[in-house]
Amino acid sequence: MSPTGEQPRDGGADVPGWLAGLAKSAAAMPVPAPLRAPVGGGRRSAVLILFGDGPDGPDLLLVQRSPWLRQHAGQPAFPGGAVDDSDSGPVSAALREAAEEARVNPASVQVLAVLPEFFISRSGFSVTPVLAWWRKPGPVGPGDPMEVTAVARIRVSELANPANRITIRYPSGPAGPAFRASGMLVWGFTGLLVDRLLALGGWELPWDSARVEDLPPEALAAPEL
């Protein structure tokens, strides 16, 4: 049983070994103290961490959020959003949002693990990441250009490349992991999750964490985490 009480939907017979091990480790991922959800706090939401097997190895699906949104404007992110009353829980919410935002066919997705909940204080959301295997990848694209401007399958090897890794310093002082990949600057909560997934999956390579850059001005409209 997942921490939310909602079971993954499918078995794992056809899941690659590297992903099955990652899913097991990620389900027990520790949550940093500043991101632990308070009891009863935050609006429930979910994101879909969707791994595929592309021509150049494992990849992750990310979306570029519209610059006109009230929350996380212009920020690369995993597809996701609030858990609606019509959703049975974070799994169904994550699959629905991926379909709406990136045109992912839910029938092609095999859910493997529900990760611990994270609290994003700047936006007030309690986010449950749902890790899944893209069993039968299909075409993707922005479902609603007012919400998502781009969708990309980003190679894990590109994210793990030390040349693409930096530390981003936020205006409030703290810093966090970030990645330059496929024309996107992946930072904030998404950057934190990618950083942890690379480590848990055994993909992390030595990189210069002292390479620090300020968050670009065009990203300042979005919450830091």
Show pLDDT as tens, one digit a residue, over the chain (225 residues).
455 556 565 545 589 999 999 999 999 999 998 899 787 778 999 999 999 998 899 999 999 987 544 444 468 999 999 999 999 999 999 999 999 999 999 999 999 999 999 998 878 899 999 999 999 999 999 988 778 889 999 999 999 999 999 999 988 878 999 999 999 999 999 999 999 999 999 999 999 999 999 998 777 654 444
Is this prediction's pTM over 0.85? yes
CA distance 189 to 205: 20
Which helix or strand (DSSP H or E) is residue 60 part of?
A: strand 57-65
Cα angle: 49, vertex 128, 174; to 5 degrees: 90
CA distance 176 to 188: 7
Burial readout 117-153 (b: 16 or more C-beta within 10 A, e: otherwise):
bbbbeebebbbbbbbbbbeebeebebbeeebbebbbb
Measured over the CA atoms of residue 78, residue 83, residue 88 and residue 89, the dihedral's sign is positive
Q: Which amino acid is present at 24?
A: K
Q: Domains of the chain by range and CATH?
A: 17-155 (3.90.79.10)
Helix axis angle, 17-27 to 188-200, nearest 10°: 120
Burial readout 187-207 (b: 16 or more C-beta within 10 A, e: otherwise):
bbbbbbbbbbbbebbebbeeb
